[in-house]
Amino acid sequence: MENIVPQVMFLMLGLFSKYAVGAYCELSVDCGNPEGRSLCISKYCHHDVTCNKDNDCFFYGASDVLSKMYLPLCFVNPKVLRPEGYGICMIKELVTSYNLYNDGLIRLPGGDTAGAIQ
């Protein structure tokens, strides 16, 4: 029984690394999440990245912003549990194309560049 602790720790580490940091990517759409809930950060996919304003998403999704094809914005998503005032970064173009606004998404705009980019 004393040998089960390292096995459980190894399993938990494996699960964390699989879901916290995923596949290699160039842009967030390479992550393959149809709802746009994954961001490409430092060439790896990250799912449900926490934010409290658009500037957070511009920073995390810098490759998308620089590509000028996709725009990560901050949304409160009822499917994802976050503290009040926080949401997750989602790709605006995928949110719009799948009409996810009907699913109860709420924008959390903010920061000095948010109004200029919309």
pLDDT tens digits, residue range 32-57? 999 899 999 999 999 999 999 999 99
Predicted confidence (pLDDT) at residue 66 exceeds the cutoff of 90: yes
**What pTM, to 2 d.p., does this model score?**
0.73
Contact 105, 77 (CB under 8 A): yes
Count: domains in the chain: 1
Closest CA to 107 of 75, 72, 73, 71: 75
Secondary-structure breakdown of the chain: helix, strand, coil percentages, each rounded to the nearest 5? 40, 20, 40
Contact 78, 103 (CB under 8 A): yes
Domain span at residue 102?
4-117
What's the average model confidence in pLDDT over 83-109? 87
